[in-house]
Each structure stands twice: as C-alpha cells, then as structure tokens.
Amino acid sequence: MTWVSDLREQVEAAYDGLGLPSWPDPHAGLPTTAQEEYSRVTDPERYRIVHARAQVWVDSLAAVPGVQVERLAPAPLGDGTTRRFDRGVRIFPPRPDALPLLLLEEDAPVSGGAGSLAVLSIGVARPEIRLELVPDCGCDACDFGSDDLLEAIDGTIGNVVDGPLVVLRGDSWRAWWHPEGGASESTESTESTEDTDGADSRGRPDHRLLMESSRRIAAGESVRLPEGTEVLVGRSWFG
C-alpha cells in the first residue's frame, strides 16, 4: 500500500536533488513588518521553487500504479477574477471515491515589469475549486521563508491524497474540511477563516457549523445545508 508519508519523503528527496534556493523567514523574531515591504517584491525569481515542488509531486504520484495525469491547456482559474493559469495538470486517483487533484501554475506579472512570480493553485475536481494558493501574496511583507511555501504545498496535497476531504460550495462562500482542520471563506473576499463564529456580512454560514457538518458528511451522516450547496467528498486515494 502507498502511504502519504512515504510520498512526502520521496518528494523531499527528489526536490533536494534539484539544488534550488532556500531562505529563512526574514521576519523571524521581528515585532513588526516595515510598511514599505507590502509594495515590494525583492526577488520574484526564487519563487520558482513553488512550481518545481509541484512538478516533483506530479512525478511521484504518476509513478504510483493506477494514477493517471491529464495535462490541461491554459484557461481561466474560474475564481471570480480575470486570472488564468498557464500550465496545469489534473491527477486522477486509482479509486473512484477519491477526488482528482489539480495543480495549476501561473506566471503572475510583477508590478513594475520586474519579471513574473510563480504561483500555484492547488484544488480538486475543477479549476475553480481551489484549496490553497501558494504564495497567497508574493510581497516582501508576506514572505515567511521557503519552508513555509513548501509545507503549504505538501500539506494541502497530502490532505487531498490522504482523505477524507469534504468541500462545500455556496453561491458566495466555500469551505473545506479534513481531519487535521479546515477553512471557510466568502468568495467575494480573499479572507479565509479558521475559527470565526457566526455568519459574516457576505453570507458565509457559521464556520464552526460548516466544519461540524463536513465532519458528519465524511462520517456518512445526513446533514442539512443551505439550499443549493454543492458537496464534494473525497476518500483516501490508496485505501
């Protein structure tokens, strides 16, 4: 049987062999962030590690018997913005009750014409069902080091592959849950929530209720959800 922990070790070993740059958290131990950092991207080129890590995951998963990889043509991300992905793959699991993994690469222009920033959208089933965007912002103020980026990629992919994963989508909100945690957000805003109580002004239902409903759905229970909610449930890729 294939284990996610084994895959992560394989990915880390293969990635280390590429000799790509790494850097510490530049804000470790600092009480505040300088205001000018929010409008500055000092070294966009080093973020290429994001796409490299994704490719190592593609190669590792593709080597598992029963896994199929579909290359995707450039297309809109479908996230309510005008953004598009430049390259992408949809990776199909060997089990029919698991969710396909999407890894979508974007070469995002940096303001001022200083090159482009490698951005990775990690999702399931369709491009618009995104679970994580890495980096979520490439400015210097939001730079927490290379390990933070790699862990976001590995952790999110691991949650999809390991299962169970529940995704809920409403008209103006979305939520996703896995045994290690989850998040919810209004799709009219970029702010996600992990522990906020109560519905927000943009129509997102109570976060804790969404997480509890998702947990029960994963356990096979019937729950009442807002009308029109789309529900996706993914089991472990490898049983």
Residue 38, classed as helix, strand or coil, is helix
Inter-residue contact 130 to 121 (CB < 8 Å):
yes
Q: What is the pTM of this model?
A: 0.91
pLDDT in tens, 67-100: 999 999 999 998 777 899 999 999 999 999 999 9
Helical segments of the chain, H only: 4-16, 48-62, 146-162, 207-218
How far apart CA 56 and CA 62 sit, in angstroms, is: 10
d(CA 218, CA 166): 7
* Dist. CA 72–CA 2, nearest whole Å: 26
Residue 195: what are its φ and ψ, rounded to 5°?
A: -150, 20
* pLDDT tens digits along 110-164: 876 678 999 999 999 999 999 999 998 888 899 999 999 999 999 999 999 999 9
